[in-house]
A and B are shown apart, each in its own frame.
Chain A
């Protein structure tokens, strides 16, 4: 008998916090697939803080339709398997209403399949591969959305910039063949660059976690290329390419992609990459963000980043959709509201979602240059 009582007490003790959690809140839970450890921890660090700030703000103002927001953040460590299991955990255990993230295409594509099956809307932040929101046949993935531009835009913009503005004729690239993001941009760049009369003289590849790029760089040097595209979102790869190229005596015009936007890259190989051009959706240097950046830095002692901006865009799109859904806070209702987003102000700009692709409409591509180890705006491309 005594054993039974103590067992019951134990059970109560274990269940108490869980029960309390259930009863205390009717908050709307939003899951976040973040990266807060591993080499890409810089992606999640500022984003999580920005999201928490924003949620606190919304809740202080009374929440949405009388309900508070609650973030459930998981660290995916930048690994696809972790992102997939975290997405499942968010949906099955935490019963979140919607999910923000992930930030990279390799994880966003499998997460989209899970979201569709469970009818939980996902707003990806910086996952820019075309196949994140549509399948191979071009059919939209109903529950997957994103707030960043897609890779063809930046591939085209970079090729156009290299051929027309810089007058380059012979391009080479070093592509991470294990990343759909990297491969995608390289293909769109190549197609547009050759269409503009340029020539691809070296197509080099490597796989994730590679540290030796000298064989490829030696070939690039021998190919006579006058511009080198490094479509990577891993600053280690980019920094090592730049350092090893310098070691081999290779002086070349670099072209980069939006995944380059990490101050860590400048810290590692700013001098080697001086003069490089890259595409990005937004720039932290833009005047309209300076007040936010300064306040963020003062409050957290961490610099705001484009990843934080995109996370805020995703959250604000969700806020709008939840508000539109009204009393019916369900996956299908929020999905429908997200699809109907037209000219809704979000953090970086005003957002319109294309219903047939779930991409933001007319996101510009900004071309930046690395000057004195700073990102400097040089040109803005509006999609045609």
Chain B
């Protein structure tokens, strides 16, 4: 029993950090209808930013987190201004936005690799160790990461449902063009949405850097988050959270009770099954693609 609970705790803690990223994917997808592949680079930049703020400039942790957030938001906004907005303005097909995001991502990751090298960097120990609860180890950092994920998601929910800006975002997810005709400022909205995605990438960059280490290919994990967002139903925030927790727990349980060697085979086969039964993801709305024609 203990081992099942321990694996469940590990799975949920893995899923909680997928959730931060999955929500970022879901948010951008629900409005702009494309997968923002540059998330990887945002996360890695933020992780590097926080690492150097701590190790090189000897800043306190809160300042390092702010530096990571600033990097995440700044880069996300630059990408919106220079990579996505010009394409949107010219009415380019959505697939070009996707390619633009991928290109920006590869360029940034390679730049980071060249500038800083591929070596691993360890964050100074922070919240290391774990609590023992009835024979189950709960990592302190994991608990903080999960708490942060839930707080951020709650905050995002509040913003979406209780503010004017949120109303604009929701209107745009229903119909981008009509919303703009109704007086929603498209460009301001885009900055807000990409800014939020920058916050999510920044926070997850710090969390990932602390949990694992800081290196240029740290962001490979964003692929998992993207998959989690699809499983949950691309475009649905609750779905992204659900998909992330499900993926984290599924991976852990397959490793634990079937085979760690064939983990990806079994867990992703299970995901294909889920998609066959729920073609729009678990909580995805069935609606015509946005921004079409």
Binding site for B on A (CB under 8 A): 37-42, 77, 177, 204-207, 209, 211-212, 214-216, 218-219, 222, 235-236, 239-240, 247-249, 264, 267-269
Given A41, A211, A268, which contacts B122 in the complex, CB threshold below 8 Å? A268
A206-B260, A236-B213 known; A268 and B120 CB under 8 Å?
yes
| CB-contact partner of B264 in A207, A235, A239, under 8 A | A207
Contacts of A41 in B (CB 8 A): 117-119
A215-B10, A215-B255 known; A39-B260 Cβ under 8 A: no
Chain A residues with CB under 8 Å of B221's CB are 211
Q: Shortest Cβ distance from B225 into chain A, in angstroms?
A: 13
Asked whether, in the complex, the Cβ of B120 is within 8 Å of the Cβ of A236, the reply is: yes
A177 and B261 contacting across the interface, CB-CB below 8 Å: yes
Q: How far is the CB of A165 from chain B (nearest CB, A)?
A: 29
- Could you list 20 A-B pairs, sorted by A, with CB under 8 Å? A37-B117, A204-B261, A205-B260, A205-B261, A211-B212, A211-B221, A212-B14, A214-B14, A215-B252, A215-B256, A216-B255, A218-B3, A219-B256, A235-B120, A247-B128, A249-B130, A249-B132, A268-B120, A268-B122, A268-B213
Task: Answer whether residue B7 sits at the interface, using C-beta atoms and an 8 A cutoff.
Answer: yes
- Interface size range of chain B in the complex: 35 or more
Residue of chain B at shortest CB distance from A40: B118
Contacts of A235 in B (CB 8 A): 120
A215-B10, A216-B255 known; A38+B118 contact, CB < 8 A: yes
The CA-CA distance from A268 to B14 in the complex, in Å, is 21
* 8 Å CB contact of A39 from B11, B14, B130, B217: B217
CB-CB nearest 9 A-B residue pairs: A205-B261, A215-B255, A38-B118, A214-B10, A39-B118, A215-B252, A204-B260, A211-B212, A248-B137
B170 to chain A, nearest CB (A): 35
Cβ of B238 under 8 Å from chain A: no
Least Cβ–Cβ distance between B259 and chain A, in angstroms: 8
B183 to chain A, nearest CB (A): 46
Given contacts A39-B215, A177-B261, A211-B212, 6 further A-B pairs with CB under 8 A are A37-B118, A206-B260, A206-B263, A218-B3, A218-B10, A247-B129
Cβ–Cβ contact B213 & A240, under 8 A: yes
The CA-CA distance from A248 to B129 in the complex, in Å, is: 8
Encode B1-41 as 1/0 by CB contact (under 8 A) with A: 00100110011001000000000000000000000000000
Q: Which residue of B lies closest to A77 (CB)?
A: B118
Interface centre among B120, B212, B263 (most CB of A within 10 A): B120
**Residue numbers in A under 8 Å from B137 (CB-CB):** 247-249
Q: Does any Cβ of A come within 8 Å of B139's Cβ?
A: yes
Contacts of A218 in B (CB 8 A): 3, 6-7, 10, 256
Q: For residue B285, which residues in chain A have a CB less than 8 angstroms away from its CB?
A: none
Task: Check if B256 sits within 8 Å of A247, measured CB to CB.
Answer: no
- Residues of chain B with a CB closer than 8 A to A249's CB: 130, 132, 137
State which of B212, B220, B260 has its C-beta within 8 Å of the C-beta of A215: B260
On whether the beta carbons of B7 and A264 are closer than 8 Å, the reply is no
Chain B hits for A268, CB < 8 A? 120, 122, 213
B110 shortest CB reach to chain A, Å:
10
Give CA–CA (A41, B217) in the complex, Å.
Answer: 14
How would residues 213 to 251 of chain B score, 1 for a CB under 8 Å from any chain A CB and 0 otherwise? 101010011000000000000000000000000000001
Does B187 belong to the interface (CB within 8 Å)? no
Which chain B residues (110-159) contact chain A, with CB distance < 8 Å? 113-114, 117-120, 122, 128-130, 132, 137, 139
Interface residues of B in 232-291 (CB under 8 A from A): 251-253, 255-256, 259-261, 263-264
Q: Which residues of B contact A38 (CB under 8 A)?
A: 113, 118
User: With a CB–CB cut-off of 8 A, which chain B residues contact A219?
Assistant: 3, 255-256, 260
Once A236-B213, A247-B139 are accepted as A-B contacts, the answer to whether A216 and B260 lie under 8 Å apart by CB is yes
Residue of B nearest to A214 (CB): B10
Complex Cα distance, B255 from A41, in Å, reads 31
- The residues of B that contact A205 with a CB separation of less than 8 Å are 259-261
Q: How far is the CA of A248 from the CA of B132 in the complex (A)?
A: 9
**Contact code string B72-111 (vs A, CB < 8 Å = 1, else 0):** 0000000000000000000000000000000000000000
In the complex, what distance in Å separates the CA atom of A247 from the CA atom of B9?
A: 13
In the complex, chain A residues whose CB is within 8 Å of the CB of B122: 239, 267-269
Distance (Å) between the CB of A250 and the closest chain B CB? 9
Q: Are B252 and A214 in contact (CB under 8 A)?
A: yes
A40 cross-chain contacts in B, Cβ below 8 A: 118
Least CB distance from B159 to A in Å reads: 31
Give bound CA distance, A222 to B137, whole Å: 13
Q: Is the CB of A264 within 8 A of B251?
A: no
Contacts of A240 on B, CB cut-off 8 Å? 212-213
With A212-B14, A236-B215, A268-B213 as contacts: A247 and B118 at CB distance below 8 Å? no
Query: A236 to B255, alpha carbons, bound, how many Å?
Result: 20
Closest residue on chain A to residue B221 by CB atoms: A211
How near does chain A come to B230, taking the closest CB pair, in angstroms?
A: 20
Q: Which of B6, B113, B220 is A37 in contact with, Cβ under 8 Å? A: B113
CB proximity of A48 to chain B, nearest CB, Å: 14
Give bound CA distance, A214 to B217, whole Å.
20
B 171-207 to A, binary, CB cutoff 8 A, 1 in contact else 0: 0000000000000000000000000000000000000
